[in-house]
Amino acid sequence: MRERIGLRRQPCSELEMLGVVQSIQEEKQDAGFGEMGGDYRLARELSDLQQLRTLYKPQLPPCLQGTTVRVEFGDATIAADPSAKVPDAQFITDHPAVRVGVVFCGRQSPGGHNVIWGLFDSLKVHNPKSVLLGFLGGSEGLFAQKTLEISDEILATYKNQGGYDLLGRTKDQIRTTEQVNAALNACTTLKLDALVIIGGVTSNTDAARLAQIFAERKCLTKVVGIPVTLNGDLKNHFVETSVGFDTICKVNSQLISNVCTDALSAEKYYYFIRLMGRKASQVALECTLQSHPNMVILAEEVDASKLTLFDITKKLCDAVQARAEQDKYHGVVLLPEGLIESIPESLCICNNLAPLQEIHGLLRKGVSADNISGQLSPWASALFEFLPPFIRNQLLLHPESDDSAQLSQIETEKLLAHLVEIEMNKRQEEGTYKGKKFNAICHFFGYQARGSLPSKFDCDYAYVLGHIGYHIIAAGLNGYMATVNNLKNPVNKWRCGAAPITAMMTVRRYGNNPSILRQPALRPATVDLKGKAYDLLRQNATKFLMDDVYRNPGPLQFEGAGAGADARPVILCVEDQDYMGRIKELQEYLEKVRSIVKPWLLLPTFSR
Amino acid sequence: MRERIGLRRQPCSELEMLGVVQSIQEEKQDAGFGEMGGDYRLARELSDLQQLRTLYKPQLPPCLQGTTVRVEFGDATIAADPSAKVPDAQFITDHPAVRVGVVFCGRQSPGGHNVIWGLFDSLKVHNPKSVLLGFLGGSEGLFAQKTLEISDEILATYKNQGGYDLLGRTKDQIRTTEQVNAALNACTTLKLDALVIIGGVTSNTDAARLAQIFAERKCLTKVVGIPVTLNGDLKNHFVETSVGFDTICKVNSQLISNVCTDALSAEKYYYFIRLMGRKASQVALECTLQSHPNMVILAEEVDASKLTLFDITKKLCDAVQARAEQDKYHGVVLLPEGLIESIPESLCICNNLAPLQEIHGLLRKGVSADNISGQLSPWASALFEFLPPFIRNQLLLHPESDDSAQLSQIETEKLLAHLVEIEMNKRQEEGTYKGKKFNAICHFFGYQARGSLPSKFDCDYAYVLGHIGYHIIAAGLNGYMATVNNLKNPVNKWRCGAAPITAMMTVRRYGNNPSILRQPALRPATVDLKGKAYDLLRQNATKFLMDDVYRNPGPLQFEGAGAGADARPVILCVEDQDYMGRIKELQEYLEKVRSIVKPWLLLPTFSR
């Protein structure tokens, strides 16, 4: 039985909770599993704003306030709805001391530290003897059993701060037999009741598999997933958005808007900006809706319309030309990081070839970079040779953990700017374009946003998810992900719950051999081209392109609703406008999903 | 007689001033010189924060409050000191209507719009019939007499907003005979009493020359300069800092700090970040003092120590190696935009050659890019051939308006990262380096900060400078720059004044022919290697390099002293710690300067 829980709490004052936490501080450092002392990484120099932020205490929704939480168990296919009659509900009043491990996996996302803080507070408020061990250096630290016991003192300078530097992170994977064995060994040796994995699509897929294997091997450690990824692609009917996405979009939108203002001031450059966000174009879409740049090319559009590199170039050139006719020689174009993967695939789709996969396959076989081109299939080779040398070199870099290319290293923005320049020069020579010379400046926005102080929303969301993480553990659930619904509304209206990660997974067939099924996995949620957010973009596309209605959300503010401190991602608000209707649609959809997915998910670990 | 004025005002309430401004709105659009209608560029979509910022009213120091301003005339070599006995002071009570033109020149800097706002408010409060014409499209708009009459309605959505997009800007220069004639013609045709030039080092040099020429030709238009440049290099004994520098450093520091957090979280990359800021390294120094990255290489250090590219590479490699010995494989290195100019010069300094100048000389003579190398002197050619192809191509780009290279287009950060990688690999092969492979990611931070919403400080400073601009005009002065002193203190302690631009100019000899003297000009204020700010950097250099004491000033806040909204640049505060002592030193220094500079500045236009 796969279940979904809803959490409700008897309210108690925050002061009482703080009182409890206070008393715990005196007992800190009693377990002593950490190889580092209590002063580990405490020597931090915080700015005024950073210090002010450490004092911010995230709100908790009513269900998590107080010490008694009611857990409602529903069918996995029914979302927690306060008005629904829940068949099975209980108050969990017994809170034995637990030992919990927590690990950062994957790209660091603003808010990650607050998950640990929330988890820690919830652990300690329910039983001061509970212990939280952080693994130092991500999954590598997990395998090597390098831990740091979390204390309020250690957390002090990391509350509401960006980055993953409290613990660090290394590789993203917990997947190979060796890795899984090392993780199991660590959890057993450290006598962990639970392992909390903070990460995105890949890491939560690993969490689900780990949960299954742990259960099969009678390991007592439960595995819990927390949706934290700046990509915003861990999103499904249970998960409205992931921690970090709001901050990343706000920071990037500020920078994009600054560039728009710059473009409009000097009126001589086109800026091509590539945005971090992996395969899905969620970040690019959200930033477009916040900043109103002239154009965005979503990977999902390219996939759907089977656009070739030449099509995209033509589209861009036509836009440049249309603007030139209005005497405009500036503009801002956004490109998602994942676009490059969509382009060659669509070029070769007729032959069902994917040059990137071919290239990586050859590299793995030991073919040297110089000889790659000759060994590719004719289509892939032709494409490869057409690309400028700097892009060719970037394609030859080793693939990332999830077998996709090192997307952040491939300068698609330069490739497209280069191709547009060639085409515009050609049009000028042919006399079909009579405007000024096309000038482009290229940017990649990723690393400079990823370490940002988290937005108020991400601080709250992460902290609440941390609390829920504890309640999943207290309820004895394995392979569940913490979820919060109704996120577009104020925190006191948030609905907390949890869902089995497997209920969010899908199964795909191998591209070349449809008879082989891949393992079930979470898939990055791509932009829904029939969704409301994309529709909003389409409605405004011409205005954005021609009228320079640039909008600057400005630097992230932490105080004042009027200053946008409480703003939510546009996508979240737009898509949720019809929330109850969506629940209904969800139920119908899940009915279908259940019939399709269930046979692949006979995992004994997901019952209680 | 070159004079310096100090301004004092009888206080009056802000409400009264607003009342006056209100009544002006009704009289708008009566002159009708603008070729655009009243709805020009009014269709703007502002975010919540942008709207909130339009409502912010910058403070005025006491001397500018009320309607009667006392103007004190001092010797150009004596700074305005309220305690000093001033030989010549007067109340200017007669405020005939004036027609003033204003133009943006050079790189857009946050705060530029507020100069226009301050100028407009001051013009109108003293005589509602006065007219302010903005030139559309920078100096090109000036030459072509494309104007927009400024009204409160037009200003409404640009108050406290970034960019130069209210008017735009194009070329930076007003220098050739043709350009000067066009400017003179515009000022005469439009019957301007004054032309206000908003810009940096180059533009204010042009302003001073224009003032001289206008006076010589009996043109009645007075020229006024306002120090606005993100580079922070328009700085001297009269000018403490320039508008835009504070914002740029805060925005860049936020991004640098985010990258530092990122580096510390993943512990696998070195980030090489190049910062916009032209020849001087002021932005790089300020950002280092705010963010504490591991290293910064100032162009001034390279110049002073005559470091070659090989020396810098070695220095960086030694740092990487020292950190690797502490098991640290991440780091953040800042590089100023102007570094590239310092490197080749120092390489060839023994032969007194400057490859960049040589290259540009050859390009101007029509030598094709392919044949450049063969025509360079042996030293320059050897250096040129040593550089990787992508840098070579960038060096061949056309020079900027002030004859330096297109610095923003030369990727010094990639050049250095490339050379460090080669050297580290070599050390690894030789066995002298035993750590992990060196991995670098490169960034250029410039355009994404330049269009930012201006900081509270820049909003206030620019607005006050705009007001002073009017009083310079009312006092009938020509070739003066508006100045504010005591900027590190709150606005009510600021001291307002003006100084002849020529008093800030220096004369240099041509490099190759010491007998030829260049025209007097403002020079970019480079980082003073004997100054307090640089000393602070040196004191902390080892700690910054080894201990990762990263500090994140966070996103620009507009409210709350605790959030850093009122923070001033570190350089400004450090250098001004001994302000009165500095005044004394200044007087002694100016005594020397006067004896040297005066003979070259017998400009009849600077008397009153």
Check residue B29 and give its pLDDT.
36
Residues in chain A within 8 Å Cβ distance of B251: 258, 555
Residues in chain A within 8 Å Cβ distance of B50: 551-552, 554
β-sheet bridge partners, residue B482: B498
For residue A35, name the pLDDT band (cuts at 50, 70, 90). very low
Supply A3's token pair. 């279940």
Check residue B449 and give its pLDDT.
94
Cβ of residue B42 closer than 8 Å to a chain A Cβ: no
Say which residue, A602 or A498, is predicted with more confidence. Answer: A498
Q: Phi/psi at B441 (nearest 5 deg)?
A: -125, 135
Check residue B17 and give its pLDDT.
27
Distance of alpha carbon A55 from alpha carbon A157, whole angstroms? 9
Distance of alpha carbon B99 from alpha carbon B563, whole angstroms? 42
Contact A47 B551 (CB under 8 A): yes
- Find out whether A58 and A459 touch, Cβ atoms under 8 Å: yes
Give the gap in angstroms from C-alpha B265 to the nearest C-alpha of chain A. 4
Check residue B319 and give its pLDDT.
97
User: What Rg value do the Cα atoms of chain B yield, rounded?
Assistant: 25
Distance of alpha carbon B452 from alpha carbon A140, whole angstroms? 40
Contact A562 B164 (CB under 8 A): no
Q: Which member of A45, A450, A557 has the closest CB to residue B551?
A: A45
ipTM entry: 0.83
Residues in chain A within 8 Å Cβ distance of B560: 52, 559
pLDDT at B608 > cutoff 60: no
Contact A164 B268 (CB under 8 A): no
Average pLDDT over residues B15-21: 28
Give the gap in angstroms from C-alpha B559 to the nearest C-alpha of chain A. 8
The number of beta carbons lying within 10 Å of the beta carbon of residue B598 is 14
Mutate to test the interface with A, among B166, B252, B254 (most CBs of A within 10 A): B254
Please give the DSSP secondary-structure letter assigned to residue A576.
Answer: T
pLDDT tens figures, A377-399:
666 666 666 677 676 666 666 55
Check residue B3 and give its pLDDT.
39
Give the gap in angstroms from C-alpha A319 to the nearest C-alpha of chain B. 21
Cα–Cα distance list, A125 to A65, A527, B562, B591 (Å): 11, 40, 31, 71
| A21-35, A151-165, B403-417: segment of lowest average pLDDT | A21-35
Contact A451 B259 (CB under 8 A): yes
Averaged pLDDT score across all residues of chain A: 82
Check residue B106 and give its pLDDT.
86
Average pLDDT over residues B358-378: 72
Residues in chain A within 8 Å Cβ distance of B288: none
The number of beta carbons lying within 10 Å of the beta carbon of residue A368 is 9
Contact B553 A47 (CB under 8 A): yes
pLDDT tens figures, B258-311:
999 999 998 889 999 999 988 899 999 999 999 999 999 999 999 898 888 889
Q: Which member of B46, B268, B558 has the closest CB to residue A551?
A: B46
Residues in chain B within 8 Å Cβ distance of A165: 261, 264-265
pLDDT tens figures, A545-567:
999 999 999 999 998 878 888 99
Check residue A176 and give its pLDDT.
92
Residues in chain B within 8 Å Cβ distance of A52: 560, 562-563
Mutate to test the interface with A, among B552, B558, B566 (most CBs of A within 10 A): B552
Which residue of A lies nearest to B440 if distances are taken between CA atoms? Answer: A409
Mutate to test the interface with B, among A540, A557, A566 (most CBs of B within 10 A): A557
Longest distance between any two alpha carbons in chain A, whole Å: 80
Cα–Cα distance list, B480 to A479, B175, B197, B226 (Å): 72, 18, 11, 9
Cβ of residue B165 closer than 8 Å to a chain A Cβ: yes
Nearest to B53 by CA among B463, B490, B552: B463
Q: How many CB pairs under 8 A join A and B?
A: 214
Check residue B512 and give its pLDDT.
62
For residue A91, name the pLDDT band (cuts at 50, 70, 90). confident
pLDDT tens figures, B215-259:
999 999 999 999 999 999 999 988 999 999 999 999 999 999 999
Give the gap in angstroms from C-alpha B32 to the nearest C-alpha of chain A. 24
Q: Which helix (H) or strand (E) holds B295?
A: strand B295-296
- Find out whether B291 and B260 touch, Cβ atoms under 8 Å: yes
Which residue of A lies nearest to B553 if distances are taken between CA atoms? Answer: A47
Contact A262 B108 (CB under 8 A): yes
Please give the DSSP secondary-structure letter assigned to residue B506.
Answer: B
pTM of the entire predicted model: 0.84
Check residue A5 and give its pLDDT.
46
Contact B265 A564 (CB under 8 A): no
Q: Which of residues 246-265 of B touch A (CB under 8 A)?
A: 251, 254-255, 257-265
Which residue of A lies nearest to B250 if distances are taken between CA atoms? Answer: A555
Contact A265 B108 (CB under 8 A): yes
For B144, counting Cβ atoms within 10 Å of its Cβ (0-12 exposed, 13-18 middle, 19+ buried), the class is middle
Check residue A575 and give its pLDDT.
82
pLDDT tens figures, B36-82:
433 444 468 899 999 999 999 999 999 898 777 777 776 544 444 44
Residues in chain B within 8 Å Cβ distance of A49: 552-555, 557, 563-564
Q: Which member of B137, B451, B549 has the closest CB to residue A45?
A: B549
Task: Give the up-direction half-sphere exposure of residue A267: CA atoms within 13 A in the CB hemisphere.
Answer: 21
Contact B452 A555 (CB under 8 A): yes
Averaged pLDDT score across all residues of chain B: 82
Contact A563 B49 (CB under 8 A): yes
Contact B451 A266 (CB under 8 A): no
Q: Which member of A43, A45, A554 has the closest CB to residue B49?
A: A554
Say which residue, A388 or A26, is predicted with more confidence. Answer: A388
Place of tokens 């220096």: B506
Average pLDDT over residues A475-498: 92
Q: Which member of B44, B49, B168 has the closest CB to residue A557?
A: B49
Nearest to A450 by CA among A298, A137, A229, A203: A229
- Find out whether A126 and A470 touch, Cβ atoms under 8 Å: yes
Contact B254 A452 (CB under 8 A): yes
Contact B52 A262 (CB under 8 A): no
Nearest to B390 by CA among B371, B418, B366, B363: B418
pLDDT tens figures, A502-540:
999 988 766 666 666 678 899 999 999 999 999 999 999
Distance of alpha carbon A309 from alpha carbon A340, whole angstroms? 9
> What is the share, in percent, of chain B residues with pLDDT greater than 70?
76
pLDDT at A469 > cutoff 80: yes
| A5-9, A75-79, B161-165: segment of lowest average pLDDT | A5-9
Check residue A582 and give its pLDDT.
62
Contact A453 B554 (CB under 8 A): yes
Mutate to test the interface with A, among B40, B136, B261 (most CBs of A within 10 A): B261
Q: Please give the single-letter amino acid code of residue A370.
A: D
Supply A455's token pair. 């937005």
pLDDT tens figures, B462-503:
999 999 999 999 999 999 999 998 899 999 999 898 999 999
Residues in chain A within 8 Å Cβ distance of B559: 557, 559-560, 563
Contact B163 A262 (CB under 8 A): yes
Give the gap in angstroms from C-alpha A596 to the nearest C-alpha of chain B. 39
Q: Which helix (H) or strand (E) holds A211?
A: helix A201-216
Say which residue, B121 or B29, is predicted with more confidence. Answer: B121
Distance of alpha carbon A243 from alpha carbon B142, whole angstroms? 50
Helix axes B245-266, B282-291, angle to 10 degrees: 50
Give the gap in angstroms from C-alpha B162 to the nearest C-alpha of chain A. 7
pLDDT tens figures, A262-313:
999 988 899 999 999 888 999 999 999 999 999 999 999 998 988 888 899 9
Q: Which member of A44, A266, A551 has the closest CB to residue B47?
A: A551
Distance of alpha carbon A42 from alpha carbon B54, whole angstroms? 41
- Find out whether A531 and A371 touch, Cβ atoms under 8 Å: no
pLDDT tens figures, B510-539:
666 666 667 889 999 999 999 999 999 999
Distance of alpha carbon B295 from alpha carbon B316, whole angstroms? 9
